[in-house]
Amino acid sequence: MSDLAKHDPEIFALIEKEYGRQVNGLELIASENVVSKSVLEAVGSILTNKYAEGYPGKRYYGGCEFHDVIENLARDRLCKLFGATHANVQAVSGSQANQEVYFAVMQPKDRMMSQDLSQGGHLSHGSPVNITGKLYEVTHYGVDKETETLDYAQIAEQARQIKPQMIVCGASAYPRIIDFKAFKEIAEDVGAYCTADIAHIAGLVAAGEHPSPVGVVDFTTTTTHKTLRGPRGGAIMTTDDELGVKIDRSVFPGTQGGPLMHVIAGKAVCFKEALSPDFKAYAKQIVKNSKKMAKVLMDEGFTLVSGGTDNHLLLMNLSTLKDATGKHITGLEAETVLGQAGITVNKNTIPSEKLSPFVTSGLRIGTPAVTSRGMKEDDMEKIALWISRVLKDVAKDRSSKTEINAVKKEVTEFAAKFPLYPEVN
> Which residues does the annotation mark as catalytic?
51, 53, 197, 223, 226, 232
Beta strands 111-115; 137-141: pairing state: parallel
Q: State residue 234 phi and psi, 5-degree precision.
A: -130, 170
Distance in angstroms (rounded) separating the CA atoms of residues 99 and 111: 14
Distance in angstroms (rounded) separating the CA atoms of residues 362 and 384: 16
Is the torsion defined by CA of 411, 412, 413, 416 positive or negative? Answer: positive
CB count, 10 Å around CB of 49?
A: 8
Instruction: Give me the residues paired with residue 378 across strands.
Output: none
Beta strands 166-169; 193-197: pairing state: parallel
Q: State residue 187 phi and psi, 5-degree precision.
A: -65, -45
Q: Give the residue among 353, 312, 311, 302 at the shortest CA–CA distance from 332.
A: 353
Taking a C-beta distance cutoff of 8 angstroms, is the pair 134, 309 a contact? no
Distance in angstroms (rounded) separating the CA atoms of residues 189 and 287: 33
Give the burial string for 11-27 (b: 16+ CB within 10 Å, else e).
ebeeeeeeeeebbebbb
| Side chain identity at residue 412, one-letter code | T
Distance in angstroms (rounded) separating the CA atoms of residues 414 and 381: 13
| Side chain identity at residue 393, one-letter code | D
Q: CA triplet 358, 363, 367: central angle to 5 degrees?
A: 130
Distance in angstroms (rounded) separating the CA atoms of residues 120 and 118: 6
**Half-sphere exposure (CA, 13 Å, Cβ side) for 125?**
28
Distance in angstroms (rounded) separating the CA atoms of residues 372 and 369: 5
Q: Which helix (H) or strand (E) holds 237?
A: strand 234-238
Q: CA triplet 361, 367, 372: central angle to 5 degrees?
A: 150
Distance in angstroms (rounded) separating the CA atoms of residues 16 and 290: 30
